[in-house]
Structure 1
Amino acid sequence: MRCAQCEADKLSVEFPETAVTDACEHIPTNCLRCLAVQFSQQKPPNASKTISSSFGKTCPECDVPLSQKDWLRFTDAVEAPAFALNVTNIGVITNEKGVLQPKSASLTAASSASNAKGSSSTSAAEPGPLTTGEFYVVLLTGERFPFSLKNHTGVQALKTALKKVANVEPTKQKLIFQGTELNEHGQDSLAAYGIGPGSYIQLIIILFAITSGSLVRNVTFRLYWGYPATGKDYLDGTCLVFRDGPEDIMVYDYMHRFRPPFPHIKHSGDVMDDVGKRGHHEIVVDLANLPPDVRQLYFVLSSFQSPTIGHFPNPSFQMFDRDKPTEQLCSYTIANAKDHQAVILACVSRTVQGWQVAAVGRLSLGNVNDYDPIIDTITTIMFDLA
């Protein structure tokens, strides 16, 4: 996603999850770092000039005043681990002394070394590869894993290490750095991609891929939840369909189960299992016949009566071939839903080869009565999933 202030492409974890204030009527388009700078430059009368004073603070995008609740939410976001790890240096190379180097320094060094093969001398002025320090791999949830450049110099070695710490098979890992998928051009060296100390790599977990020649055409998505300790209760399973037009978003939920002009998706409504103490919503999608302007489908669980989904154990996502309803193709379970109203479980994206299903796991505000916060959250991660 691109920050409207600094005009840099950044990961979604570098933006607020919601607008700066509850009264803002826009999605957050300024990154957290730019917001912090702008807040520090606001000088309210009779108040400290430091950023610790919330009185007189206004949203830099629409001038709506911040409440104490708004300010605490912003400071919590700035202090969150995913942001506190200096994410402003995503893609920026630093040497051992912390001095910033050009992003292409490692590429330049690798190219120079290649050109110098067979030669007995090289220019002393050319920078050498930066092979010490740490870089980070970030999930869409904001969880991140540190790695040593010294011990992880290649893409395949990194994927093997990620299998151990993140429990994700290398074949299901899609690693993105500065808009480029690592290893997609057969280049295994991290340095050749410009990755150095302080760099951040986005990890997309691909749960399943459907190619154009696949026999899987109609798929069933089941969104499950366990009953809370208080007894039978409901979550809402939703499919949000994003088409080419930014305003073209279709909703399928228990109130909108079928749309005759667009018959490719059907929603089951509530399916409750009182014996097993869990419920689910089933959404059938005819992927093979979706119009070409359909780009992505997002699957969401949100609270209905409960203030959060944290009381519901094991919110999860399962996908089946409709023609083989007992053969599960993939699944994904959220470990901790915390104090949020909704969780974006998965995304199905159109690719050149067909479709791919990616785990998301991003928590959000919003529910069936107000999808805007959920759509805002999705908007912030679309760049990561592109």
Structure 2
Amino acid sequence: MKCTNCQIDKLSKEFPADIIGRKCSHIPSFCLKCLINYFDVQKADQTPQKCPECEVIISKQEVKDLNLAWEKALFRINLTKNKNNLNQNGEINTAKGNIYVILLNGTKLNFKLEDLNTVADLKEAIEKQTKVRFNKQKLSYKGVELQTFSDEGTKNKLSEYSIVPESHIQLMVLLYSISKELSINALTFDLFWGYPSTGRDFLDGTCMLYAGNQLYRTFDWSKKNFNDVPNVSHSGDIMDHVNKRGHHCITANLALMPSEITRLYFILSAYNSPNIGCFPNPSFKMYDPSDPDVQLCSYTIQSAADSQAVIMCVVERNEKDEKGNWNIFEIGRLSDGNAKYYQPIMETISNINEF
């Protein structure tokens, strides 16, 4: 099939899979490469973006969709060699050095800045190294989330976020997204453990609620309810002495969460035993009772066997989303501290929030 713009014969996969915009009524005859070039020029002209074939208005979201299709295309080649090396001032990008991506569990990834130009480039490099899918990554630098695309639908450059050699960028891995329309009214965290060889002991499940970077409330075996947060509760200790098993259950109605609450951290800690590995056959499940087969957090407790505590995951309000969505991110950060002394755990959370 020949592109009507560049007049080059191309494979069908090098063209949009669907119409360019929802108001278009024709099959696209421009290849993806030509369309991306075309919309980049239109952006520079600061005029409403139009279909190059029928001239209907193309929305910003539709341009974003085209950019994403181009970005993920297996046949993709750079539009021009130099364009991918330009900084935000239109100059050749000569910045060289390492940048670092830090996962919430403390893992540190190393990338060469000169090999990257856009946020999309960085996400692709992360996916290759970690197998964490592109759309499951949330990157933040100095408290600002790195957006893959601008409002106009073009790819954001790393230089637009003032990322330079030796910059440290935080990576949060999205486990699950909860929309208000499908709101989990009783997010449930079920924890079970066996008694250690020394006898009865407690593998505590704790939920810490944060308002921004400030601790708001802590729900655990001794603080099971608060009048100002009636939509969250802790079961307290449920002990089966016959079978030597313990159980904690935490529930949270996200739809009724006070507006100031932005994060819920879920934590495991050993109460008397020196570490989590002392408890045989620990298991947990985070789920929605209306769909109990879907595991919302997949952390392996055995990974924290040598630690006194582990911050397993965080349920975070998507403050930029007017629909009131919540996201669940994997953490897996080991920590000192337990339900008798939370200060080390709070310090670990503070270190996570520094980004």
The C-alpha deviation readout for 1:290-320, integer Å capped at 9, x for no partner, is 2212222111111112112244478776421
Check whether the contact 2:265–2:311 (CA below 8 A) recurs between aligned residues. yes
The answer to whether 1:240 aligns with 2:208 is yes
- Which residue does the alignment assign to 1:375? 346
Give the structure with the larger strand fraction: 1
- For 1:315 and 1:329, the matched residues in 2 are separated by 17
- 2:188 aligned to which of 220, 228, 240: 220
- For 1:128 and 1:189, the matched residues in 2 are separated by 13
- Which residue does the alignment assign to 1:166? 130
Note the 1:1-386 alignment, pairs <5 A: 110-113=87-90, 128-186=92-150, 187-223=155-191, 234-243=202-211, 246=214, 249-259=216-226, 262-270=229-237, 280-312=247-279, 318-334=285-301, 336-337=303-304, 339-352=306-319, 353=321, 354-384=325-355
Does the C-alpha gap of structure 1 residues 217 and 149 become closer, same or farther in structure 2, counting only changes over 3 Å? Answer: same
The C-alpha deviation readout for 1:118-166, integer Å capped at 9, x for no partner, is xxxxxxxxx7413543322111222111123344433223323322332
Kindly provide the amino acid, as one letter, of the partner of residue 355 in structure 1.
Answer: W
Q: CA RMSD in A?
A: 3.4
Does the C-alpha gap of structure 1 residues 322 and 157 become closer, same or farther in structure 2, counting only changes over 3 Å? Answer: same
Aligned length: 263
Does the C-alpha gap of structure 1 residues 314 and 110 become closer, same or farther in structure 2, counting only changes over 3 Å? Answer: farther
Alpha-carbon shift at residue 227 of structure 1 (Å): 6.6
Alpha-carbon shift at residue 252 of structure 1 (Å): 1.7
Tell me the TM-score normalized by structure 1: 0.58
Kindly provide the amino acid, as one letter, of the partner of residue 172 in structure 2.
Answer: I
Does the C-alpha gap of structure 1 residues 220 and 331 become closer, same or farther in structure 2, counting only changes over 3 Å? Answer: same
Check whether the contact 2:94–2:114 (CA below 8 A) recurs between aligned residues. no
DSSP 3-state at the match of 1:340: coil
Tell me the TM-score normalized by structure 2: 0.63
- For 2:338 and 2:227, the matched residues in 1 are separated by 24
The C-alpha deviation readout for 1:79-101, integer Å capped at 9, x for no partner, is xxxxxxxxxxxxxxxxxxxxxxx
- For 1:244 and 1:132, the matched residues in 2 are separated by 35
Alpha-carbon shift at residue 275 of structure 1 (Å): 12
Does the C-alpha gap of structure 1 residues 166 and 224 become closer, same or farther in structure 2, counting only changes over 3 Å? Answer: farther
Check whether the contact 2:213–2:353 (CA below 8 A) recurs between aligned residues. no
* Runs of 5+ consecutive residues of structure 2 not aligned to the other structure: 1-85
- For 1:153 and 1:231, the matched residues in 2 are separated by 57
* Percent of residue pairs identical: 42
Alpha-carbon shift at residue 203 of structure 1 (Å): 0.5
DSSP 3-state at the match of 2:331: strand
The C-alpha deviation readout for 1:326-359, integer Å capped at 9, x for no partner, is 3323422256326432111112222222322222
- For 1:315 and 1:152, the matched residues in 2 are separated by 42
Kindly provide the amino acid, as one letter, of the partner of residue 209 in structure 2.
Answer: V
Alpha-carbon shift at residue 216 of structure 1 (Å): 2.8
DSSP 3-state at the match of 1:327: coil
- For 2:300 and 2:281, the matched residues in 1 are separated by 6
- For 1:239 and 1:374, the matched residues in 2 are separated by 12
DSSP 3-state at the match of 1:329: coil
DSSP 3-state at the match of 1:360: strand
Alpha-carbon shift at residue 241 of structure 1 (Å): 1.9
- Which residue does the alignment assign to 2:14? none
- For 1:204 and 1:226, the matched residues in 2 are separated by 31
Kindly provide the amino acid, as one letter, of the partner of residue 297 in structure 1.
Answer: L
Does the C-alpha gap of structure 1 residues 290 and 363 become closer, same or farther in structure 2, counting only changes over 3 Å? Answer: same
* Runs of 5+ consecutive residues of structure 1 not aligned to the other structure: 1-108, 114-126
Kindly provide the amino acid, as one letter, of the partner of residue 288 in structure 2.
Answer: D
